Structure 1
Amino acid sequence: MAASTFRIGGDLTVRRLGFGAMHLPTEPGAAREASVAVARRAVELGINLIDTAHLYGGGANEELLAEALHPYPEGVLITTKVGVARSDDSGEWRLDGRPAVLREQVENALRRLRVERIELLQLHRIDPETPLADQIGTLRDLRTEGKIGRIGLSEVTVGELGEARGIVGIASVQNRYNLLDREHEPVLTACEEAGIAFLPWRPVAWGDSGANAEVAAVAAELGATPTQVALAWLLGRSPVVLPIPGTARTDHLEENLAAERLDLTPAHRDRLDGLSG
């Protein structure tokens, strides 16, 4: 069986199968109450890597997690992302990695999450209109000031990762990657070689795995669901892979966690390895 934990940045131990909070409704009422219950259940089940972002409701998702989990149990890591902002003119979300914006979003995240330091802060996207050195340099300065513990990136190329690592140590990369979509295989390889955590977003292809005949066949043979097969494949793909499947339902949460106990045989892995696209 694959190792169940990973040390982000070499020193921050988390359970490899985490939780993506993006899908949790934040509006007042029954939906929000259900979201709080799901977040709390995730921690009860031993999940200690929870992913959110400023983009998710303009900070509303961060506030929801604080409401549900603060004061945070020991060892629980809430990682958030900055670098996407609403345009003052159109109100639409756009990439914005200007130093002042990144600083403001980090300060707001600290307040919303009710923490003095964000142990893992990820740049949601690289802003092509702002020099990378300015974006990464700002996060490096915030780390020096003690407001960030470790720095991560999202949706980057191998070249961008290398350039960023020339400025500051990078602890994690969050790129789109799953059993049927391996466009960022070279980035995963680079992360594996450097010991950098790789957090695949959209880890189960949003249901597409279940529509794939080969995945469905493997799932049937193992008495599992296609989602569990997809997550088990990711966990076995590389020790640096930390999937963060998201859901707003407790039953799906428990289904996802059961993927840790699913043992794919070498023959099953060979069949699944041949799938992509």
Structure 2
Amino acid sequence: MSDDEMPPELDDLTEVIQKARPKEEKSSTLNVGDYTKTREEIQKEVSDQLAKEMEQKMKLKAEEEKRKKEEEAKKPKDSKKDGLFGGGFAKGFLSNPAPKAAKKQEEIIEVKVNKEEQKKNKLEIKEVQEAMKLNDTLNNTKDQWMNPQLLNQIATNPLIAKLFTNPEYMQAISLMQTKPKEAMERYGKNPEFMMIFQEFCKVMGNHFQDLSSKDKEEASKKEQEKPLLQKVEKLDPDQKRINDLIQNDAQVQEALQDPKVQQFIHFLQTQKKVDFHSVMQKDKDLAKKIQVLIQKGILNIQGF
């Protein structure tokens, strides 16, 4: 076969083929979280994170209230309150004399604002002060709502434990507090995160509901105990002293438990007339116990 009859040589198209192929995407690694942390470390992170989220929520609430009040202040006032009639003419406009020539433009005085005073005024805004007080209250009562029961629920729940060991998910929770719309756009399509987040909200909601129920029960018990306390407080001071003696004085208790003493007191209350000298001479033991009650102020025989 001659060279003229041979097929033409093929060009080297390796470079063209490589350019035509789509570039391989770099393999992405999935952050599955750090499972090497101890329960104590997880509990500490949970405590710090929840306190931080509460603080951010209070600040946002204060800023929102401030913004609403500023918008209300900017609304136009009623023209009647400013002494204006329909059409914008002031009261007495037609009867007033023609205005005199305007005086020369007054000198412009530059007012310098003291930065320290300005900073102080910002801190004195009512909404900011209320938010700061509320935040302080949450921090001061942290031991009440951040209790071992909540920490145990979080640590023993696999979904929530993964939430607090995955840095990306922790960032999503923080973003939920400040920019919820952006957070949902970024993480709303992640089914795992949404499932974990819903579980977290469920646990926290049940926890605060339980705390509220316990507070109501304690308040109800205190209300029921108030009448008893008021009755004790209304007792005469002398009657309180007598009650203390009856409960704590051994001699008084021994005398009152004696059937003869009980019979004598009953007789004294019903008959009103008793010959004490005759009684004392006949029964020395009875006389001794009656004398104890008289000296202690338990028994008063002056009216008999």
User: What's the TM-score once normalised by structure 2's chain length?
Assistant: 0.17
In proportion to residue count, which structure has more strand?
A: 1
More helix by share: 2
TM-score by length of 1: 0.18
